[in-house]
Amino acid sequence: MKKIASIVSALAFAAIAAGVQANAADGSSWGPGADDANFKAMLKSGFRAKGIATLDRLDQDATQAFCSDPDRANSKESAAQKAKIEADNMAAIKWPSDGKWLGDWKEGEKLAQSGRGLTSTDKAGDVNGGNCYNCHQLSPKEISYGTIGPSLTNYARIKGVDEEAMRYVWGHIYDSKAYNACSNMPRAGYKGILTEKQIKDLMALLLDPNSPVNQ
């Protein structure tokens, strides 16, 4: 009986898969045709605007659209397009207006541990957090932290604090997709999530020898 049930399940799955492929072939909203107008309309119908969270969040720019198709983004044929996207993002980075890289690491720590901002329950005037803790370990003393991104403990000791290191850190915080088109890291500066001052404070958290990151 178990063998029969397994065969039935396999056939059912195959039928569903065939149906999805058939729909994709005839231009419907699934499979390779998932970027068509019907799919986009269906997607927007599943969301509603509330507070500062509006439907324009569903509008993708060229970088986001490229990375929403992982097969294309990771293909050899798209290597040149990926390189151009990274170059375009690199060109859009705004470096410190006064030439100074570091702010206050204590403010940076508060910012890194704050996930506030950009949600429907936040107000337009609320200060956005960096949300860094969700993806990175920030201090050797932390026992609970995100692991999507690498640990940042002892960052300054490992990476150094010369001009090249400063530019690298700033660039990643401002627009990580300048280095990896499909990076999971938010484009904090490019998208206006963080201010120049806030980026400087995060820089200090990572690079100041007195910050908890480097203890």
User: Would you place residue 11 in the very low, low, confident or very high pLDDT band (cuts 50, 70, 90)?
Assistant: very low
Extract the tokens encoding 196.
């120049």
Domain presence at residue 25: no
Domain presence at residue 95: yes
Domain presence at residue 29: no
Domain presence at residue 166: yes
Q: Please state the rounded mean pLDDT for residues 94-110.
A: 98
Domain presence at residue 16: no
Residue 215 above 50 pLDDT? yes
Domain with residue 100: its CATH number is 1.10.760.10
166 contacts 201 by C-beta, under 8 angstroms: no
Domain residues for the domain of 64 are 43-215
Give the residue with greater pLDDT, 106 vs 45: 106
How far, in Å, CA of 8 to CA of 29, rounded? 27
How far, in Å, CA of 16 to CA of 30, rounded? 12
User: Would you place residue 39 in the very low, low, confident or very high pLDDT band (cuts 50, 70, 90)?
Assistant: confident
Number of domains in the chain: 1
Q: Please state the rounded mean pLDDT for residues 112-138.
A: 93
pLDDT tens per residue, range 137-177: 999 999 989 999 999 999 999 999 999 999 999 999 999 99
Domain presence at residue 162: yes
Domain presence at residue 214: yes
Report the share of the chain in percent with pLDDT over 90.
Answer: 67
Domain presence at residue 11: no
pTM of the entire predicted model = 0.80
What are the beta bridge partners of residue 93?
none
